[in-house]
Chain A
Amino acid sequence: MLLAEQALNGLQYGMMLFLMAAGLTLVFGVMGLINLAHGSLYMLGAFACAWVAAATGSFALGLAASLAAAAAAGVLVEVAVIRRLYARDHLEQVLATFALILVFSEGTRWVFGSFPLYLTLPAALSGAVTLPGGLQYPLFRLAIIGVGAAVAVGLWLLIARTRLGIRIRAGEADREMVAALGVDIARLYTLVFALGAALAGLAGALVGTIQSVQVGMGEPVLILAFVVIVIGGIGSIKGALVAALLVGLTDALGKALLPALFARFMEVSAANGIGAALGSMLIYILMAGVLIWRPQGLYGARG
């Protein structure tokens, strides 16, 4: 029972990471841009959701606001700052987008203050449901798993089945050729960036609802999102999904199982300490292992 619940926790965590990593990997893969400010867009989505949900009393409007606000901020940032960075090297991109983190964090602190905001779950999504097998699990966390799966299917359809998807894939392969064929590459980039931003905003709103909405909430998640796209292979949505679930499950199951494992041959409190410490290292060990085996990531195209 504990294992099943932890597996669900890992799945939910993985789906949340996927929403973050999908945008990051698209931007990185298609545009060749390292965007450290992705975590700020996540935070922005959470604040927009909290603010609109508190003002209107409707959680659905809050979610819509998180998508809209993060996408709008994404467009603004892309046009004003990022556009100038495509031709520069990665170090300058890192520097500029790190500056954006500071601007967004201080700006948000200025508007909303330093005190964390807390969202109330809508009545329809609150409480726990009993799953087959008798396990009780919070409905909202199940909903996050559902949203993540829906986004994964939606993204796959978008990339594999639509004209926009063809352009995105073409832009990834050879941007000069695509531009020469008459595709407005600048607009395409803005669109991709806004899409990634909106997904980050959605992830922020969903996570902010079960945890708390505060300045600086995006940076710890950003690090994990980078781990995910490195494991999955840069630019691959499928890789991001598989890697996100792998990371989520490794983290949740590792933290649950390792202390119990160590408790078999040592004192409980020491086992707790060592198990927890090793549990939080597991995903990085996983990353190192994958990189040794496949340096380009699980589904990475570039060798």
Chain B
Amino acid sequence: MKARTILLGTLAALALGAGAAGAEGIKVGMITTLSGGGAGLGIDVRDGFLLALKMAGATDVEAVIEDDQQKPDIAVQIADKMIQSDQVDVLTGIIWSNLAMAVVPAAVAQGKFYLSPNAGPSALAGSGCDKNYFNVAWQNDNLHEAAGAYANSAGYNNSFMLAPNYPAGTDAITGYKRFYTGAAAGEVYTQLGQTDYAAEIAQIRASGADSVFFFLPGGMGIAFMKQYAESGVGIPLVGPAFSFDQNILQAVGDAALGVRNTSQWNKDLDNAANAAFVAAFQAEYNRLPSLYASQGYDTANLLLSAKAKADVADQDAFRAALEAADFASTRGDFKFGPNHHPIQDIYVREVVKEGDIYTNKLVGVALEDRGDAYVDECKM
């Protein structure tokens, strides 16, 4: 049940004589989802993170990795253990916003840095922001805001909205409605981890909607897409990249072809860092990277860039180095806003088939230099 990987001991780093400022070893605790319906996301974040460490030859970064099983109570136990007995300097890895809300406030209150490779609940971007909390992925609302903007431009004006009932699900529908100007044909919150969507599909069929916006990451998305395709309801789908990531597409197949979705990243984004990342990821793991993998990779590179400039024991210097975000992101331009959340472009992608592989290709920009809606509520 425990997946614990120790890359290289801090002892080894000491033996190599790391003494210069900024060259001290760092111990990272990664709490992520490696089993169950959400495993695809955690595995990709972990693999992207470890790939970046390997490519940088960062032998003095030790990663302790544990599976949270997508359960908040387990995540809290692991965090306590990592902080108290493993004595990690930095925590990262959490996929699900309900787990992040359970772990992050306590971790940063104990003086640890937290770099989020995925979850970006609105509470942590606004009034609950913290000087030691950085989100390297996005604020939860962002991709859904872009989906709303896209729905307008596609001429949809009666959307049925579907999301799981947890912080990221409410952020999703809030984000979508922030930009989408049409009417709501229905708004349904499902259980997190639900696998049967027959009742929701019946409601969609009866709603008279002209489009279905859905946010269902991981196994939930696979189950919904397969059942939706079987149901014969032909209403067009829109959604964030989470509902159409690399793992979901392989399981869903033809049913997703041609669907537009929004993402801050895609494998064909034209920049040198991304090209190197996509090639190395395929060579290392023999599969295409997902956006989650790119987020894990960027998180590790942000950490490495800060480590090169400052010692993690000097918290103020290390924090300033993180804020500078001086690393080559797979997204091209990358910078943090004042609440430590990214300001970045969000793109529209389309699901295509390349040979036997289902994947996404870029078709345009939905939002440029998008920050988030909660930045003014953040007082650090």
Contacts and interface: CB of A to CB of B under 8 A. Distances in A.
Physical interaction between A and B: yes
Interface of B is mostly: helix
A9 B37 contact: no
A223 B110 CA distance: 40
A268 B184 CA distance: 11
Given A2-B202, A5-B205, A6-B199, A138 B227 contact: yes
A128 B231 contact: yes
Contacts of A212: 37, 195, 219, 222-223
A1 B198 contact: no
Contacts of B36: 114, 116, 214-216
Nearest to A216: B36
Interface stretch (A152-160, A269-277, A282-290): A269-277
Contacts of B227: 138, 210-211
Contacts of A137: 231-232
Contacts of A9: 198-199, 202
Interface in B258-282: none
The CB with the most chain B CB atoms within 10 A, among A139, A269, A273, is that of A269
Interface residues of A, number: 40
B195 A121 contact: no
Contacts of A136: 205, 231-233
A269 B187 contact: yes
Interface string A246-275: 000000100110000000000011001100
Interface residues of B, number: 33
Given A128-B231, A212-B223, A276 B37 contact: no
A79 B1 CA distance: 29
Contacts of A140: 230
Interface in A111-128: 114-116, 118, 120-121, 126-128
A114 B35 contact: yes
B39 interface: yes
Nearest to B189: A272
A256 B188 CA distance: 11
Interface string B201-236: 011011000000000000100110011001111000
A12 interface: yes
B161 to A, nearest CB: 11
A38 interface: no
A121 B1 CA distance: 31
Contact of B35 (A5, A109, A276): A109
A211 B203 CA distance: 19
Given A5-B206, A269-B187, A214 B231 contact: no
The CB with the most chain A CB atoms within 10 A, among B202, B230, B233, is that of B202
Given A115-B39, A272-B188, A210 B196 contact: yes
A141 B205 contact: no
B34 A126 contact: no
Given A121-B230, A127-B230, A268 B202 contact: no
A2 B232 contact: no
Interface in B1-48: 1, 34-37, 39-40, 43
Contacts of A115: 39-40, 43
Interface of B: 1, 34-37, 39-40, 43, 67, 165, 187-189, 191, 195-196, 198-199, 202-203, 205-206, 219, 222-223, 226-227, 230-233, 251, 253
